[in-house]
Amino acid sequence: GAGVSQSPSNKVTEKGKDVELRCDPISGHTALYWYRQSLGQGLEFLIYFQGNSAPDKSGLPSDRFSAERTGGSVSTLTIQRTQQEDSAVYLCASSVRASPWNEQFFGPGTRLTVL
């Protein structure tokens, strides 16, 4: 498909476990963004990549959250020692480049539930 894809679509985990969320951006898009959407809330910026570099990690809620991107393509968001407050939909977006002039295209998200 031509759009942004994310996997898994749903993830249920137990408190304290680690989880990995994957994002496949649109081919050729150099910029990749992660957002978090808590129930009934708007999207909250977490981190962005330009290529494989993450110049701004300021949105990551705690040091339990990390992200990487390899080959300028796939990105993985890792949450260690998950807590119940981590439950949310994690959305990924990509754009041609990291600029306010380039539209961000969103994936369908991964719904994370921490029991």
7/31 Cα distance (integer angstroms): 19
**Contact with another protein (CB under 8 A): which of 44, 51, 72, 80?**
44
**Contact with another protein (CB under 8 A): which of 7, 11, 13, 106?**
106
**Contact with another protein (CB under 8 A): which of 1, 28, 42, 71?**
42
Is residue 65 involved in binding another protein (CB under 8 A)? no
Residue 86 vs residues 37, 58, 89: alpha-carbon distances, Å: 10, 17, 9
9/7 Cα distance (integer angstroms): 5
Distance from the Cα of residue 80 to its chain's centroid: 14
> In the complex, which residues of this chain contact another protein (CB under 8 A)?
4, 31, 33, 35, 40-45, 48, 50, 55-56, 91, 93, 95, 98-109
